Amino acid sequence: MNGFDCGQTRLWNAYDPQPSTLNPQPVIAITNVTKIHRRGETEIHALRGVSCELAKGTFTFLVGPSGSGKSTLLYLVGALDEPTGGEVRVEGRRLSELSASERDAYRRCDVGFIFQSFNLLSNLDATDNVLVPFLPRGISDVQRHKARELLQRVGLAGRTDHRPGQLSGGEQQRVAIARALLKEPKLVLADEPTGELDSQTGAEVFGYLRELHRERQTTIVVVTHDERYIRDGDRVLRMRDGRIEAS
């Protein structure tokens, strides 16, 4: 893992020793998942019995109107939230059964998150923003070099020392992509990654995701309202009112 302190805590390594021959299970298995948010005495049903499976190396889009449950489902897969009912399994292991430290390790080592809002720290330059997930454990020269290499790869070679306020929206999203890729995740979860970008910059962002998918067969799940980025061979899950209508 290029010096990153994930090691045997990685859920993927523990359950995927030889994925091509020993693990016929899907990467992600979602079974009858419900999610209810309670506001006082009011119940909001975000997910209503969702079931689906995502195979290793697929590029999957979750599409549908606002409030259909897309982002909620993405957050459950990323262990950022827990279902009210049903189960989410990754490589055969139920996420709700992970300890707090195992959930942290799963998010830190196995999953790359890309959000619409970028989530960059204004007081850090681009390089340190890429390194944020690993700052608490200390950063080596090797890791810093890798971060700068990734920034160069996404077209920010001359912007590595710039802070978010000095970068355009598209450049900030590229920093966020580099941050997600630094740990070489097996799973990338993107929530409206082009929602605040113009069409040309959005196409560039998806270009980087496509390149990652081609080179490493990374499993990618994208929530989007914009279907222009869908290509032949992509998996498309259409959601409405907390259910999957078609796939």
Specify the pLDDT at position 115. 87
Three-state DSSP at 166 gives: helix
pLDDT range class, residue 161, cuts 50, 70, 90: very high
d(CA 108, CA 144): 17
Question: Does position 29 have pLDDT exceeding 60, yes or no?
Answer: yes
Contact predicate 108/183, CB 8 Å: yes
Tens-digit pLDDT profile for residues 44-84: 999 999 999 999 999 999 999 999 999 999 999 999 999 99
Tens-digit pLDDT profile for residues 104-115: 889 988 999 998
Contact predicate 60/222, CB 8 Å: yes
d(CA 60, CA 237): 7
Radius of gyration (Cα) for the chain, nearest Å? 18
Specify the pLDDT at position 79. 96
Specify the pLDDT at position 19. 41
Three-state DSSP at 141 gives: helix
pLDDT range class, residue 21, cuts 50, 70, 90: very low
Tens-digit pLDDT profile for residues 166-177: 999 889 988 998
Provide the mean pLDDT of the chain: 87
CATH superfamily of 7-246: P-loop containing nucleotide triphosphate hydrolases (3.40.50.300)
Q: Residue 99 forms beta bridges with which residues? A: none
**CA 33 vs CA 45, 46, 92, 226: distances in Å:** 11, 10, 16, 25
For the segment 199-224, the average pLDDT, to the nearest whole number, is 89
Specify the pLDDT at position 183. 82
Contact predicate 56/27, CB 8 Å: yes
Question: Does position 2 have pLDDT exceeding 50, yes or no?
Answer: no
Specify the pLDDT at position 10. 56
Specify the pLDDT at position 6. 60
Which residues fall within 8 angstroms of residue 242, CB to CB, at 6 or more apart?
Answer: 35, 45, 46, 47, 48, 50, 68, 69
Q: What is the DSSP letter of 167?
A: S
Q: Please report, for the chain, the start and end positions of each structural domain, with discontinuous segments joined by +.
A: 7-246
Question: Does position 137 have pLDDT exceeding 90, yes or no?
Answer: no
Specify the pLDDT at position 220. 95
